[in-house]
């Protein structure tokens, strides 16, 4: 738990000890790898309920993720305790977050609403996890405390859309980090907010797109919701703005990327590259306002980088799919990377890492093992600063090992 989460537990410590008997929840936490064996034994040694609870809540702040504790409390009929804990944490968050703009949920500007999802993604891609989490918590709290029970209005519709994008960003963060997450259950909770928005069908198409993305990231073989995604996408496509369309294209790209990863077939790779070209065209021809254009330019650069990785026989997370890359693909990858290199400093930290991955792979395939090793080491150093990109880190380690063995 971070500092504020620990403080929330401390602030209502007496309440928690009074209402929770740890023996009924430690089993589930242990199954979720959220409780160490040592702490579990320590708790079970106590024969008196309130003593067990005191030991539990003293130790849990250092061993259990806050979200896991809250989810476990909800699932073990301690919903009122979970709500009290969350409310305390949100209030502490709001008190501390002087940089959070409260007017973000008083929007009439659709571009600003769209930018919230990108803003949160940028925090993640730069490793600013505390700022990301607190921003999401502030938005959730604002919705729960000021908008949830209000009558329908344009303002509430905007607020609902903001909190949906924040919730989706949070889910993607959890899944990318490899945390256990029941995607279908979590997405179901998000869909309940769609009714408050101005265009529920449009929002549902985005929510279903995220469901597909998250299940793909979790490497699920059965992507539940593909039919819902395709139907809603086709029904509302003409009403979507550039940000919504981008989400759908990203989803289609991930579908083909997953197919390429599983089969290694050229057709899947070609379809993925077609989607990436769509994204690049989308970002280069759209945008109103300096901030929106800035975000879209960043998406364009990132899409080009993913395209280079595809040419090099890799997934967007740097996993090697094909050991054999054609001369034409190598030329394409080199050209794309040259275009990106001129704007390297504009890349977020995550994409700088992947740029070095692509450079390392390209040099390895060209027989420049010294250059490949240097780029792979730089990528590895950057991965240490991005703690939740665990899959990329493992792929980089595998790449380093492969380069060293082939040198």
Task: Give mean pLDDT, residues 315-340.
Answer: 91
* pLDDT tens by residue, 282-296: 766 554 445 667 777
Condensed to tens digits (0 to 9), the pLDDT of residues 190-216 reads 999 999 988 888 888 899 999 999 998
Confidence of residue 106 (pLDDT cuts 50, 70, 90): very low
Cβ(167)–Cβ(214) below 8 Å: no
Residue 279 has pLDDT above 70, yes or no: yes
The pLDDT tens digits for 21-55 are: 877 787 877 777 777 778 778 878 877 888 888 88
Residues 6 or more apart in contact with residue 158 via CB below 8 angstroms: 105, 106, 107, 108, 113, 198
What is the C-alpha to C-alpha distance for residues 121 and 135, in angstroms, rounded to an integer?
Answer: 11
CB 186 within 8 A of CB 172: no
DSSP state of 152: P
Long-range pairs for 359-363: beta carbons < 8 A, 24 or more residues apart = 360/399, 360/403, 361/309, 361/312, 361/313, 361/314, 361/320, 361/399, 362/308, 362/312, 362/330, 362/333, 362/334, 362/337
Threshold 0.85, pTM exceeds? no
Tokens of 9: 């537990």
Give me the pLDDT at residue 380, please.
93
Band of residue 108 on the pLDDT scale cut at 50, 70, 90: very low
Return the minimum-mean-pLDDT range out of 83-97, 235-249, 273-287, 366-380.
Answer: 83-97
Q: What is the pLDDT of residues 382-407, one digit of tens each?
A: 998 888 888 899 999 999 999 998 86
- pLDDT for the residue 105: 46
Distances (CA, A) of 92 to 58, 60, 110, 190: 19, 19, 29, 24
% of the chain with per-residue pLDDT over 70: 90
320 φ/ψ angles, rounded to the nearest 5 degrees: -80, 120
Query: Does the pLDDT at position 168 exceed 60?
Result: yes
Q: Do residues 125 and 48 lie in contact, with contact meaning Cβ atoms separated by under 8 Å?
A: no
| H helix runs in 177-289, sequence order | 183-191, 200-217, 226-236, 242-263, 266-285
Under the banding of pLDDT at 50, 70 and 90, the label for residue 312 is very high
- Beta carbons of 358 and 371 less than 8 angstroms apart: no
As a whole number of Å, the end-to-end CA separation of the chain is 43
Q: Is 17 helix (H, G, I), strand (E, B) or coil?
A: helix
- Nearest to 64, CA basis, from 129, 137, 133, 1: 1
Identify whether the C-beta of residue 123 lies closer than 8 Å to the C-beta of residue 135. yes
Judged by DSSP in three states, 234 sits in helix
177-194 pLDDT, tens digit per residue, is 888 888 888 999 999 999
What pLDDT, on the 0 to 100 scale, is given for residue 84? 82
* Residue at token pair 């602030």: 11
The mean pLDDT value of the chain amounts to 83
CA 86 to each of CA 66, 197, 205, 389: distance values in angstroms, whole numbers, following the listed order: 9, 25, 29, 26
d(C-alpha 302, C-alpha 355), whole Å: 9
pLDDT at 292: 65
Which pLDDT score, from 0 to 100, does residue 112 have? 53
Identify the pLDDT of residue 67. Answer: 78
Q: pLDDT band at 146, cuts 50/70/90? A: confident
Residue 102 has pLDDT above 50, yes or no: no
Q: Which of 10-24, 28-42, 232-246 has the highest mean pLDDT?
A: 10-24
Nearest to 251 by CA among 216, 224, 219, 278: 216
């Amino acid at each position: 738990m971070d500092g504020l989460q620990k403080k929330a537990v401390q602030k209502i410590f007496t309440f928690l000890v009074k209402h929770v008997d740890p023996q009924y929840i430690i089993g589930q936490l242990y199954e979720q790898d959220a409780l160490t064996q040592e702490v579990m034994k320590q708790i079970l040694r106590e024969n008196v309920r309130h003593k067990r609870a005191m030991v539990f809540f003293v130790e849990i702040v250092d061993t259990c993720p806050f979200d896991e504790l809250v989810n476990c409390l909800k699932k073990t009929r301690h919903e009122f305790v979970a709500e009290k804990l969350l409310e305390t944490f949100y209030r502490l968050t709001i008190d501390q977050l002087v940089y959070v703009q409260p007017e973000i949920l008083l929007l009439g500007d659709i571009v600003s609403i769209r930018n919230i999802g990108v803003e949160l993604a940028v925090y993640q891609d730069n490793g600013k996890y505390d700022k990301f989490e607190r921003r999401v918590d502030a938005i959730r709290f604002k919705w729960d405390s000021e908008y949830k029970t209000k009558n329908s209005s344009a303002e509430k519709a905007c607020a609902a859309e903001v909190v949906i994008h924040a919730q989706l960003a949070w889910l993607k963060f959890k899944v990318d980090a490899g945390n256990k997450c029941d995607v279908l259950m979590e997405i179901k909770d998000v869909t309940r907010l769609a009714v408050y928005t101005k265009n529920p069908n449009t929002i549902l198409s985005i929510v279903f797109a995220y469901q597909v993305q998250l299940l793909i990231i979790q490497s699920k073989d059965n992507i539940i919701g593909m039919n819902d995604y395709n139907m809603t996408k086709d029904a509302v496509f003409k009403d979507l703005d550039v940000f919504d369309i981008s989400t759908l294209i990203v989803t289609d790209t991930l579908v083909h990327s997953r197919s390429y990863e599983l089969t290694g077939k050229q057709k899947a790779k070609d379809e993925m590259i077609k989607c990436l070209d769509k994204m690049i065209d989308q970002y280069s021809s759209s945008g109103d306002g300096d901030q929106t254009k800035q975000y879209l330019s960043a998406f364009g650069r990132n899409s080009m980088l993913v395209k280079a990785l595809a040419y090099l026989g890799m997934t967007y997370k740097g996993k090697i799919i094909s050991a054999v890359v054609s001369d034409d693909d190598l030329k394409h990858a080199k050209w794309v990377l040259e275009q990106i290199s001129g704007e390297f400093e504009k890349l977020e930290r995550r994409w700088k890492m992947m740029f070095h991955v692509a450079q390392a792979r390209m040099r390895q395939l060209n027989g420049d093992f010294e250059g490949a090793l240097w780029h792979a080491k730089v990528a590895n150093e950057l991965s240490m600063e991005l703690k939740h990109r665990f899959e990329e880190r493992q792929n980089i380690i595998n790449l380093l090992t492969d380069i060293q063995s082939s040198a």
